[in-house]
Amino acid sequence: MNDLNIRQIAQDKFNNAVCVVIKIGSALLVDQKTNSIRLDWLDSIASDVNKLRSEGKKVVIVSSGSISLGKKILNLKNSGLSLEESQAAAAVGQIFLAQSYQKCLGHYEIVSAQILVTAEDSQNRRRYLNGRATLLKLLDMNVVPIVNENDTVATDEIRFGDNDRLAAQVVSLCDANILILLSDVDGLYTSDPNINPEAFHVPIVEKITEKIEMMATKKESELSKGGMLTKLEAAKVSVAAGCHMVIANGSRLFPIMSIFEGRKSTWFISSDNPIDARKQWISNTKPKGEIFIDFGAERAILSGKSLLPAGVIKINGLFLRGDTVVILSSEGKVLARGLIGYSYHDVELIKGCHSSKIKSILGHPGRSVLIHRNDMTL
């Protein structure tokens, strides 16, 4: 495949994207000799982010670097740290990391936010839903979230282990269309090009087969934890979520625009879009309850709107927040399925009420919709 075709594919994916997730590893962000942030490089990332946002795209950054930065500040050795030393380095380095992003993005009047997560946050339903709601609200408010693993509290048992996997999980949280993994290589090769001079580059992967997996190596740098194997795992998760993924060399300045211009990279193509993939998953999930709605609510959801508490007549089932429920008309006709935003107990209290009354009824502020249109399949 020639450079022109790669550029056409890249531009097509970018032009149709609504949300882009960018994963930045320590090896790119932090100078390996000085353990200092490469500010000129980070400035170029900020410029690329500004370009994407000027084209109406939402951007999320998944960033490593806190431990590496903390090691320098605390004068710790580069390798062989105890768990407690790593956690202490992360606590110190995270502040400096966030300040650096804030400064560079601030040059373009971009507001950034910090989100720290652990693997438990994606495995626990309540935490997952809260994290998703917060992330989507930040994007709606035109903020660029900076996501990092919470290394201060994470242990080997409850950590993602590398930010490739974390970035793939973030894709599903924000319904991203493109995941960009910036690396120190130009993408996937048939074998390690540093060892085999006859290895050739793979520009497009439409299906991750056993043959593709055999091309991955376990090579890792001192600063980063993820090799090509973890990137392939991230690709599987992303593609299944309806998100295209691209691996590209991020060492050069303005790496995102370089991908857009057709520089050498590897694209993993998804046949779905994020919303369709999510709705397909909902369709295949066993429902835990039933929601009966009036005619006005029926018309609203059939026209593509979210379900509000005011339209609910009655409920069946002991469902919890985040469970799949069936939505039925007042006559019992199945209309849709969706992920419910409240437990059966809370829905029983707020059904038939205007969303403005939720706080006074439940005693705490709640979301205005029972089931968001993006969490509903007809």
What is the bridge-based pairing of β-strands 201-202 and 188-189? antiparallel
For the record, the structure tokens of 42 come out as 């980070």
CA gap 82, 133 in Å, rounded: 35
Residues 68, 131 within the same domain: yes
CA gap 108, 91 in Å, rounded: 27
Residue 68 has pLDDT above 80, yes or no: yes
Residue of 57, 23, 11, 16 whose CA lies nearest to 242: 16
**Rounded to the nearest 5°, which phi and psi values hold at 91?**
-60, -40
Residues 308, 266 within the same domain: no
Per residue in 183-209, pLDDT tens? 888 899 988 777 888 888 999 999 988
* pLDDT at residue 298 in the model: 96
Residues 251, 318 within the same domain: no
Residues 330, 363 within the same domain: yes
* pLDDT at residue 225 in the model: 47
Residue 239 has pLDDT above 70, yes or no: yes
Domain enclosing residue 50, as ranges? 3-274
Per residue in 324-372, pLDDT tens? 999 999 999 999 999 999 999 999 999 999 999 999 999 988 889 999 9
Name the domain count of the chain. 2
| Strand, coil or helix: 273 | coil
Domain membership flag for residue 280: no
Residues 266, 314 within the same domain: no
Per residue in 130-169, pLDDT tens? 888 899 999 999 999 999 988 777 655 445 557 898 999 8
- Among 32-36, 68-72, 91-95, where is mean pLDDT lowest? 32-36
| Strand, coil or helix: 288 | coil
Per residue in 298-324, pLDDT tens? 999 999 999 999 999 999 999 999 899
Per residue in 32-49, pLDDT tens? 788 789 999 999 999 999
Q: What is the mean pLDDT of the chain?
A: 89
* pLDDT at residue 125 in the model: 74
- Among residues 230, 246, 274, the one where a domain terminates is 274
Report in angstroms the alpha-carbon separations of 53 from 46, 108, 174, 367.
10, 10, 16, 27
Per residue in 115-131, pLDDT tens? 998 877 777 777 888 88
* pLDDT at residue 21 in the model: 98
**Rounded to the nearest 5°, which phi and psi values hold at 133?**
-65, -40
CA gap 341, 334 in Å, rounded: 19
Residues 315, 247 within the same domain: no
Residues 183, 132 within the same domain: yes
Domain membership flag for residue 279: no
Domain membership flag for residue 171: yes
Cα dihedral across residues 200, 206, 10, 170: positive or negative: negative
Beta-carbon neighbour count of residue 154 at 10 Å? 21
Residues 19, 52 within the same domain: yes
Residue 224 has pLDDT above 50, yes or no: no
